[in-house]
Amino acid sequence: MKKIFVKTKNVKGFMNLIYNLKNKPDNISKIGLVYGEAGLGKTKTALYLAIQHDAIYIRAANSMTPKWLLEEIAKELGEIPRFFTADIFRQCVNALRLKPQMIIVDEIDYLLADFRTIESLRDLHDETDVPIVLVGMNLAKHKLKKHNHLLDRISEIYHFEEFDFSDVKQIVNELSEVEITDSAIRLIYNKHKRLRQIVRTIDTLEKATTANSLTEITEEIAKEILDAR
């Protein structure tokens, strides 16, 4: 399988959100929300774009406190976190003012149980004006409605949609090292709509191709291979 990052419509939507945040006027909030079902590539995209934009990537965890979150951000900024939460916050602010970096926080659903943690991110944004991207599951936007004062600060929102046939065809054609016909791709599309599933299917078909000395995967061959799993 080729080691290529496929820029699907969802990826381009995420990229556009970041572009818009980074180009907001100084008096406009630069907080964005990306949300959608699991398995559509949100995390892979967030990691890819964090590298592309020299951003800080943080993965939230269950029961994460404001101090814990700030400690993780401080470490990514090359700081040794101090003991008190207020001091760590000031460390982060000073470091971000010296070298502004976008912050991408994945799995924000974990933070919504203790809203003080999300508020810490808003405070960081207000003190530094760095763009902050929140990445969450499909109900993240709905959950944030309970906290309108933060939702009102979100100036860009993108919803990851389930892949359509053109997305699946693009993923297969760009990743697969063997020829897979459109009818076989249609079979994959009818069975799977999530990135992880599609990638596993491509891997299965490639291995079967090597084992059976095939030069092309047709719909009939794909059906036989996938039904045998």
- Has residue 149 got a pLDDT over 80? no
**HEC-encoded secondary structure of 92-159:** HHHHHHHCCCCEEEECHHHHHHCHHHHHHHHHHHHHHCCCEEEEECCCHHHHHCCCHHHHCCEEEEEE
Residues 145, 132 contacting (CB under 8 angstroms): no
pLDDT of 84-102, one tens digit each?
999 999 999 999 999 999 9
pLDDT attached to residue 77: 93
Letter string b/e over residues 173-211, b meaning 16 or more CB atoms within 10 A of that residue's CB: eebbebebeeebbebbbeebbebeebbebbeebbebbee
pTM of the full predicted structure? Answer: 0.88
The full set of domains in the chain, from first to last, is 9-160 (3.40.50.300), 165-227 (1.10.8)
- Has residue 226 got a pLDDT over 80? no
- Has residue 41 got a pLDDT over 80? yes
Q: Tokens for 212, please give them.
A: 């059976």
